[in-house]
Chain A
Amino acid sequence: MRSFVGTGSLVRLALRRDRIMLAVWIGIFVVMAAGSAGATVGLYGTVEDRVEAAAAINNTPSLVALYGIIYDESSLGALSMIKLGAFGGALVAVLAIILVIRHTRSEEEAGRLELVGATVVGRNAPLAASLIVTVAGVLALGLFTALGLAAAGLSVGGSFAFGLAWASIGIAFAAVAAVTAQLTASARAAIGLAVAVLGVAYVLRAIGDTAGDGTASALRWLSPIGWGQQVRPYQGDRWWVLLLPLAFFVVVAATAQVLLGRRDHGAGLLPDRPGPAMAGRGLGGAFGLAWRLQRGTLLGWAAGFVILGLVFGNIASNIDGFLGSASAIEMIQKLGGVKALTDAFMSTELGMVAIGASAYAIQAVMRLRAEETELRAEPVLATGVKRLTWVWSHLTIAVLGAGALMLAVGLGAGLTYSAETGSAADFWRVLGAALVRVPAAWVLAGLVVAAFGLAPRAAVAGWAALVAFLLLGEFGPLFELNQYAMDLSPYAHVPRLPGGEFSVVPLLGLAAVAAALVAVGLVGFRRRDVPIS
């Protein structure tokens, strides 16, 4: 156990560094969960109301794919938490991943771990400490959430089951991040890899939940998010399911410690091969550099979007298979038939994917800020490269990249969907519906450019804006916000395609807003000092 010496002091150091960030995160989760519960308790007072609402969700495959199944349609807690169970769990997982990488690979990459490692600290201590802090953090998050839910009027047993289910998802992905931290030498890549695993886990449970009684339904048991849902809070509280993520954590975290022993300090297990001694033809200016820095990330995202598209197209084309009962089919016919149902499904899914494309655009523009603070912009701007050219080089990738991602998802969904319906027109309809989402992503990119030019330290506000718009869209109707507030979100202006009415005016409007924000940012950047750290 000598290799774990010093774990205690590292835990204290990590808690000291994270005390504010952790408290804020936990607070956000608790408020989100308790607020959502409180609103639902008020809206669905009677059992009949609840059964109707729950049945509507269970009969809508897009919602089942996105959120999961309500197993007990009369349960108040199950209905209240359906939107947050899997989706919120994934956010808890992101928090866990960030926490683990922040105290392991990021520290190692920055050289600070070396400083700490030279004191009386065992080889396995830093990883152990980061896991302890993360597990304790998500457990606290789960417990406070449970208290918040119980206070909002949900059953106490179910609330604790829900809180622990959330925590269990975080704990499982803490172990995943512990492994990816050993694989790559860069923190950014380690986070990317762990988030990719999270994406796969989410898709596995989506396939499992929409497979009805088919064999594919077993796929949900391959996913830590699926485990969290199978605890079935407020619907029988199956505590034994929590043993699965616990066992997963023990095995995977131990694997990470073993991998740690097999690599050098500062290195990843995935090898760093020597590269070219001379620059290729393309690497000669700002655009060549930006493309080189961003192409790997873009290609990774694009591959993910193609797969998402293929999956959605497939689910959409099989939607009538989910409609078991005759009464459900009758209800659907009244609502406009199967076509309208699949269109609504497509539109919902493409809307969610569009948020992902916006996140891509934001992080692509944020590269400018990272290049500046890490002092890599300075040597480039000290050459013949003009300031505005440099900004455009990364902005172009964000703007075209967001378009390429929606194109990728549209192609994937259009292909599998039209292959099933046999209609080429369906392909173009789906592709078009994906592409109308692009200008909203540009607005987010524009926001980041404006902040970067005028108040660079506030550039992270782009992420806050994305979360705010997402919450406005998801919870605005639930809290009955007025239309002006909801119209602040660029996503509120996107035509609901396919199925909805197409209008070019809002798209031009969004593009104009994005262009104006970019112009403001460019003027600001031309006048300001570089670097502002």
Chain B
Amino acid sequence: MTVPSDRAITVSGLVKTFGHTRALDGLDLTVNTGEVHGFLGPNGSGKTTTIRILLGLLRADAGEARLLGGDPWRDPAQLHRRLAYVPGDVTLWPNLTGGEVIDMLGRMRGGLNRQRRAELLDRFDLDPRKKGRAYSKGNKQKVGLVAALASDVELLILDEPTSGLDPLMEEVFQQCVQEERRQGRTVLLSSHILAEVEALCDRVTIIRQGKAVESGTLVEMRHLTRTSIAADLAVAPDGIATMSGVHNLVVEGTRVRFEVDTDQLNAVLGRLVATGVHSLVSQPPTLEELFLRHYQDDLSRTEAPAAVPS
């Protein structure tokens, strides 16, 4: 009730332990209504545990989780009618057909858009008459996706939903999520596929060892990354090495190669131009670099936030 309606999900200080393992260690996560929120992190970092708590399946040991203005542990069934969930590994009942599972899960949620169901089956190229045991991994995943996307709900919770999909189907999935966003739905998308996250997500939260280590828009995150520069100068460079934001500088006569923090790019380029530039190649910053940095476990021991993974 106290949660403003522009927040679909708010999680603060969430803790969950399994025996001696601390799966969540004070996690914070905010998802605004109407946004597609990327939820990233290495295997075993606590993404699925977070999602299960948000679904009221697991009980948090400490901290608070609010979902669509309610408490997922106390009134799960009411909240579940307003959301749809696709697990990372869709397991089907061996003797139910895909079509039956789609309809059944839809009805359990309180309704299904028949027209959208037919359209999605067509777009995902899924045969709904096969028995659960006969589907391949990718096709099982499609059954889960169609069941979720054909529901008229406010919130979609997708836990690595595209594992096992071929690139063509991945493309269809991305279009579908774009459409959901246009309809004003909120999406929490846990994913490992960086291209998917870049294409779809408005904001991203990166989780590691049960804690959120980074959260913000992709534009903000790009600022945290570096541009690679290779240049041939008129004379040997001078003073570049001491400029802030310059890393891994290699000088060979008049040629230089280095990386520069994106927010220092202007100042460094100004210095190069003052020296005289014969040729210049620059490579744009990639999110991949940022993600890899957070995925690597031992990085917490190196000091600077912008330290380079070697």
Give A contacts to B, CB under 8 Å: 109, 185-186, 272, 274-280, 283-286, 288-289, 292-293, 296, 374-376, 378-387, 527-531
Q: Check B85–A283 contact: CB distance below 8 A.
A: no
Q: Check B58–A530 contact: CB distance below 8 A.
A: yes
Q: Check A285–B107 contact: CB distance below 8 A.
A: yes
- Give CA–CA (A5, B214) in the complex, Å: 54
- Shortest distance between the CB of B199 and any CB in chain A (Å): 26
Q: Is B129 an interface residue (CB 8 A)?
A: yes
Complex: chain A residue closest to B147, CB-CB? A379
| B55, B97, B110: the one within 8 Å of A382 (CB) | B55
Interface centre among A272, A379, A382 (most CB of B within 10 A): A382
- Give CA–CA (A387, B57) in the complex, Å: 9
Interface centre among A186, A296, A379 (most CB of B within 10 A): A379
Q: Is B94 an interface residue (CB 8 A)?
A: yes
Given known contacts A376-B93, A383-B108, is B99 in contact with A279 (CB within 8 Å)?
Answer: yes
Interface centre among A109, A380, A528, A529 (most CB of B within 10 A): A529
| A272, A283, A383: the one within 8 Å of B100 (CB) | A283
Residues of B within 8 A of A379 (CB): 85, 87, 90, 105, 144
Complex: chain A residue closest to B110, CB-CB? A384
Residues of A within 8 A of B59 (CB): 527-529
Complex: chain A residue closest to B79, CB-CB? A384
Complex: chain B residue closest to A385, CB-CB? B108
- Shortest distance between the CB of B265 and any CB in chain A (Å): 46
- Give CA–CA (A422, B285) in the complex, Å: 93
Q: Check A278–B100 contact: CB distance below 8 A.
A: yes
Q: Check B87–A380 contact: CB distance below 8 A.
A: no
Given known contacts A278-B128, A374-B91, is B58 in contact with A529 (CB within 8 Å)?
Answer: yes
Q: Is B77 an interface residue (CB 8 A)?
A: yes
- Shortest distance between the CB of A299 and any CB in chain B (Å): 14
| B76, B80, B95, B99: the one within 8 Å of A278 (CB) | B99
| B57, B90, B94, B97: the one within 8 Å of A381 (CB) | B57
Q: Check A186–B104 contact: CB distance below 8 A.
A: no
Residues of A within 8 A of B58 (CB): 529-530
- Give CA–CA (A247, B107) in the complex, Å: 55
- Give CA–CA (A386, B78) in the complex, Å: 9
Residues of A within 8 A of B144 (CB): 379
Q: Is B160 an interface residue (CB 8 A)?
A: no
Q: Is B134 an interface residue (CB 8 A)?
A: yes
Mark each residue of chain B from 99 to 124: 1 if its CB lies under 8 Å from any CB of chain A, else 0. Answer: 11111110111100000000000000
- Give CA–CA (A383, B80) in the complex, Å: 5
Q: Is B7 an interface residue (CB 8 A)?
A: no
Residues of A within 8 A of B57 (CB): 378, 381-382, 529-531
- Shortest distance between the CB of B47 and any CB in chain A (Å): 15
* Nearest 7 interchain pairs by C-beta: A279-B103, A383-B108, A275-B97, A284-B107, A274-B129, A277-B99, A382-B85
Residues of A within 8 A of B105 (CB): 379-380, 383
Q: Is B130 an interface residue (CB 8 A)?
A: yes
Q: Check B87–A274 contact: CB distance below 8 A.
A: no
Q: Given contacts A275-B130, A279-B104, could you give 7 more A-B pairs where the C-beta distance is less than 8 Å?
A: A275-B129, A277-B129, A278-B128, A379-B105, A380-B105, A382-B80, A383-B80
| B77, B87, B102, B108: the one within 8 Å of A284 (CB) | B108
Jot down 25 A-B pairs with beta carbons below 8 A, ordered by A.
Answer: A185-B94, A185-B133, A272-B131, A272-B133, A274-B97, A276-B99, A276-B100, A277-B99, A279-B99, A279-B102, A279-B104, A284-B107, A285-B108, A292-B96, A378-B52, A379-B87, A380-B105, A381-B55, A383-B105, A384-B80, A384-B81, A384-B108, A527-B59, A530-B58, A531-B57
Residues of A within 8 A of B102 (CB): 279
- Give CA–CA (A386, B129) in the complex, Å: 28
- Shortest distance between the CB of B135 and any CB in chain A (Å): 11
Q: Is B196 an interface residue (CB 8 A)?
A: no
Given known contacts A382-B57, A384-B77, is B133 in contact with A275 (CB within 8 Å)?
Answer: no
- Shortest distance between the CB of A522 and any CB in chain B (Å): 15
Residues of B within 8 A of A383 (CB): 80-81, 105, 108-109
Interface hits, B51-100 → A, CB 8 Å: 52, 55, 57-59, 76-78, 80-81, 83, 85, 87, 89-97, 99-100
Residues of A within 8 A of B94 (CB): 185-186
Residues of A within 8 A of B100 (CB): 275-276, 278-280, 283
- Give CA–CA (A276, B99) in the complex, Å: 7
Complex: chain B residue closest to A383, CB-CB? B108
